[in-house]
Amino acid sequence: MASRSRSAAIVLAVLVLALASFSLHSLFQLRRQRTELDLLRAREQKARAAFAELERQRQGQPSAPPASGEPGALLRAAGPIAFPQDAAARLEELRLLSQTQERLSSTEASLREVEARTSDLETRLSALTQENQNLRQAAQDVSEKLDTSGRMVAALETEMKSRNERLQQLEAQNKEIRARNDQLARQQEQNRTLGFEMEELQRRREVYLTNILRRYREVTDFYRSLALRLENPREGSAPTNAELARIQNTITLADEDLRQLHALNQQMTGLQRKMGGR
């Protein structure tokens, strides 16, 4: 829209300049024609004066010249008269007077036409000048609106750039948070696995610990019974080899369970260290 307004303004400016140039040319032509008209009028007056002098010489008395614009009457009046020696020159002056009057009439008609055209051109020039001013004002308004729009667009671009930067920062933070969440999820999965392993180790420890306690109770009960029998040899019999072997086997099994329990305790300590290190 701004480009069309500017183009229209340029075209109108060119038209205004062309009309102004044509008006100046018409004014110059009008002045020249007016100058020629003045010269023709001066020559007409001179011819009229000569004709009047010729008539006075012919009649021997002063008389008024014929009316203006009647060259035929002048020629008819001068026709049947006996001319003096310079009659041929006077006749030539009358002919020139007639031609001058015809040229004067033609020049006046042309002058009126030029004046009418000049008036019309001046009116059109005034209208075009006003329209050109209106277009200049409209172009200025459009330019101001474009400047305002440009500033708004620049502000929006700046704000959009700032928002994009903040969005990039948020995306980077979100990516980092997702990475941390993934890492925490893996750690939780590993901790869950370690927890299952620790639960299994704890269950096995409880089994071995229960077996150890049961076997030590058996051994304790056997030694207590053996001590009572040794204190009262008359009331009880001496322990047999089978009983001693069973007790020895129980002690061996208890030692093995204790060794397994110690190994499980070491595995539990290792798992606890892994979980604590994470």
d(CA 16, CA 23): 10
The closest of 9, 15, 17 to 143, measured between CA atoms, is 9
Q: Tell me, what DSSP letter sits at residue 97?
A: H
Q: What is the mean pLDDT of the chain?
A: 77
Predicted structure pTM score: 0.37
pLDDT at 44 over 60: yes
Output phi, psi for 61, to 5 deg. Answer: -150, 155
Q: Average pLDDT, stretch 186-211?
A: 88
Confidence of residue 7 (pLDDT cuts 50, 70, 90): low
Helix (H) or strand (E) holding 104: helix 87-231
Helix axes 241-277 and 87-231, enclosed angle (nearest 10)? 160
Q: Average pLDDT, stretch 9-22?
A: 61
d(CA 252, CA 258): 10
Q: What are the tens digits of pLDDT across the range 153-192?
A: 999 999 999 999 999 999 999 999 999 999 888 888 888 8
pLDDT recorded at residue 9: 57
Q: What are the tens digits of pLDDT across the range 83-134?
A: 445 667 667 767 777 777 777 777 778 778 877 887 888 888 888 888 888 8
pLDDT at 231 over 70: yes
Burial string for 148-171 (b: 16+ CB within 10 Å, else e) reads eeeeeeeeeeeeeeeeeeeeeeee
Q: Average pLDDT, stretch 10-36?
A: 65
pLDDT recorded at residue 20: 60
Output phi, psi for 65, to 5 deg. Answer: -70, 155
Q: What are the tens digits of pLDDT across the range 258-275?
A: 999 999 999 989 888 887
Q: How would you class 123 by CB atoms within 10 Å of its CB: exposed for 0-12, middle for 13-18, buried for 19 or more?
A: exposed
